[in-house]
Amino acid sequence: MPIIKSVRGKSPQIPSDCFVAENATIVGEVTMGKECSVWFNAVIRGDVHFIKMGDKVNVQDGAVIHATYEKSPTTIGNNVSIGHNAIVHGCTIHDNVLVGMGSIIMDDCIVESNTIVAAGAVVTKNTRIESGSIYAGVPAKKVKDISPELTSGEVNRIADNYVKYASWFK
């Protein structure tokens, strides 16, 4: 059974159509939208501030979502994929975003819609990632504009695939 725990009187809100792996951890003030999935060894800690996730968000194996105490909550839009072992901390991620494997998004960043944060990228505090772009590197910088084909071919495909994968485990 996953660890789903109340903290300071606040409990995770997880719709019945979501998948949460047996060894995932979700604690505190976490609100998930429809068709979300939280995979093996992922941790979503809403103990120090709230975490709000839209519909069709997948938090892949080993990813960590957290916030900063009484300062920076984490808000994630719709159709977002958080790659394996990524860290998303005290930031805002809009709709249709792919956060690559092993990337880190720090406090007070804003990731606008229709973007990709490349695998291994480190998005430093207060960075704003403009809509329709790909950011990569350490620290992350814009490397190119994202094509509509890449948005539908990668961002949407991965989010849709994770809804399908989750159905295998229900």
What is the band of 170 on the pLDDT scale with cuts at 50, 70, 90?
A: confident
Question: Over the stretch 14-63, which tens digit does the pLDDT of each residue have?
Answer: 999 999 999 999 999 999 999 999 999 999 999 999 999 999 999 999 99
Rounded CA separation 104/63 (Å): 10
Model pTM score: 0.97
Count how many Cα atoms sit within 13 Å of the Cα of residue 77 in the half-sphere of its side chain: 15
Question: Over the stretch 99-122, which tens digit does the pLDDT of each residue have?
Answer: 999 999 999 999 999 999 999 999
Interacting residues of 94 by C-beta distance below 8 A, sequence separation 6+: 77, 110, 111, 112, 113, 115, 131
Interacting residues of 168 by C-beta distance below 8 A, sequence separation 6+: none
pLDDT above 90 (res 85): yes
Interacting residues of 105 by C-beta distance below 8 A, sequence separation 6+: 86, 87, 88, 89, 91, 93, 99, 111, 117, 123
The more confidently predicted of residues 165 and 152 is: 165
Look at residue 168 in the predicted model and tell me its pLDDT. 97
Q: From edge to edge, which strands make up the β-sheet containing 58-59?
A: 19-20, 37-38, 58-59, 80-82, 97-99, 115-117, 133-136, 141-145
pLDDT above 90 (res 148): no
What is the band of 134 on the pLDDT scale with cuts at 50, 70, 90?
A: very high
Look at residue 166 in the predicted model and tell me its pLDDT. 97
For residue 73, is the peptide bond before it cis, meaning its omega torsion is within 30 degrees of 0?
Answer: no
Write down the mean pLDDT value for the chain.
97
Question: What's the CA angle centered on 108, arms 106 and 114, to 5 degrees?
Answer: 80
Name the percent of the chain lying above pLDDT 90: 94
Look at residue 150 in the predicted model and tell me its pLDDT. 83
Rounded CA separation 137/53 (Å): 26
Question: How does DSSP assign 85-150, residue by residue?
Answer: T-EEES-EE-SSEEE-TT-EE-TT-EE-SSEEE-TT-EE-TT-EEPTTEEEETTTTEEEEEPPHHH
**Which class is 3-169 in CATH?**
mainly beta
What is the band of 149 on the pLDDT scale with cuts at 50, 70, 90?
A: confident
